[in-house]
Amino acid sequence: MTEPSWLDEWKKYSQNKPTFDWSKAAKWSGVKVYDLSQPLSNLTPPFPTYPPFEFKWIKTMTENNVQAQYIMTPLHIGTHMDGPLHFVPSGPDIGSVPIEHWIGEGVIVDLSEEVGDLGIYSSEMVQKKAKEHNLELKPGDILIIHTGYHKYAWYQPEADSIRYMLKHPGPTVEFAKWVIKSRFKWLAVDATSQDHPLNTVIRKVRPDIVEEFEKVHGKKIDQLMPWPENYQVMHILPFKYGIVHVENAGGEISQVKNRRCLIVGAPFKFLGGESAFVRLLAVCGEN
């Protein structure tokens, strides 16, 4: 792997505003916009060990003749973009990333039939599914993984916070290295983490989930996903190359499976922020 040049590339955006040819991303005389975001409220469960989302009224019509709210929240809840500063202390804050980085062509690859509870997905699975649907994976693409687990998110009819937050499928270090080699722009997933849940703090706080994983796979977890090389690997390794990601995608994501679209995931311009909330969109041509 070569030394990352992503910071130099981002600097070029501010020095010379680029132009883009997205004519092949969609038939622009007939497109639809799909919202791939989840709703956020005080009912949204926080990621384990994180505080919840809170809001309160600070102005009301009855008292002030105007309405205003105040929020207190972690950034890693709801549909959000993990920024470089989240895992790279020397990296730029999310508000300093050029806007051009947050929009581009991308593919939504469906792995819902390949993996289930506590499953491990691989680069081979993604490439095979893309080939089946005549989707070329190109350098600079935005790669969105559809696991199907957004159907278990808190706001869904099949809501199941245990399955959604603790048992969703995820990748290993193999996948992280492939992402870097493929030179994707950024990633997204319809799960609470881009990492496998047992490559996060969940391995420590929920040993019962570890036991279930080992029963499912018939092997010890340290054989399949040894630490430290797999610990938070989707955050630690790709972030060094500027390849960050959206977590908690959802919304209408199942309507755009196995398609190439124009993807938009612009966080709010939070100077000093390590991450930020995002509205994730897919702009897709319709036949």
> Is the model's pLDDT at 128 over the cut of 50?
yes
Give this prediction's pTM: 0.95
The tokens describing 70, both together, are: 């105040």
pLDDT > 90: what percent of the chain? 89
Please list the alpha-helical segments (H only) found in 150-218: 161-166, 173-182, 202-205, 207-217
The tokens describing 66, both together, are: 């105007």
Comparing C-alpha atoms, which of 249, 263, 243, 279 is closest to residue 86? Answer: 243
Most distant CA atoms of the chain, gap in Å: 63
Reply yes or no on domain 6-39+75-285 having CATH 3.30.1490.190.
Answer: no
Q: Return d(Cα 76, Cα 277) in angstroms, integer.
A: 8
Q: 260 near 25, Cβ under 8 Å? A: yes
The tokens describing 168, both together, are: 């969703």
Q: Return d(Cα 201, Cα 219) in angstroms, integer.
A: 20
pLDDT (0 to 100) of residue 3: 45
Which of helix, strand or coil describes residue 196? coil
Taking the mean position of all CA atoms in its chain, how far away is CA 24?
24
What is the pLDDT averaged over residues 267-271?
97
Q: 141 near 126, Cβ under 8 Å? A: no
pLDDT (0 to 100) of residue 5: 66
Q: 93 near 271, Cβ under 8 Å? A: yes
Q: Return d(Cα 266, Cα 286) in angstroms, integer.
A: 23
* DSSP result, 12-51: HHHHS------TTT--TTSEEEEE-B----TTSPPPTTSP
The tokens describing 44, both together, are: 């949204």
> Is the model's pLDDT at 2 over the cut of 70?
no
> Is the model's pLDDT at 103 over the cut of 70?
yes
What is the pLDDT averaged over residues 192-219?
98
Provide the 10 A C-beta neighbour count for residue 199: 25
- Indicate left, alpha or beta for 232 from its phi (over 0: left) and psi (-120 to 50: alpha): left
**Residues shown for the chain:** 287
Q: Kindly report whether the peptide bond that precedes residue 139 is cis, defined as omega within 30 degrees of 0.
A: no
> Is the model's pLDDT at 1 over the cut of 80?
no
Q: Return d(Cα 71, Cα 208) in angstroms, integer.
A: 34
pLDDT digits 0-9 by tens, 85-98: 999 999 999 999 99
To the nearest whole number, what is the mean pLDDT of the chain? 95
> Is the model's pLDDT at 245 over the cut of 80?
yes
What is the pLDDT averaged over residues 257-284?
97
Between 65 and 6, where is the model more confident?
Answer: 65
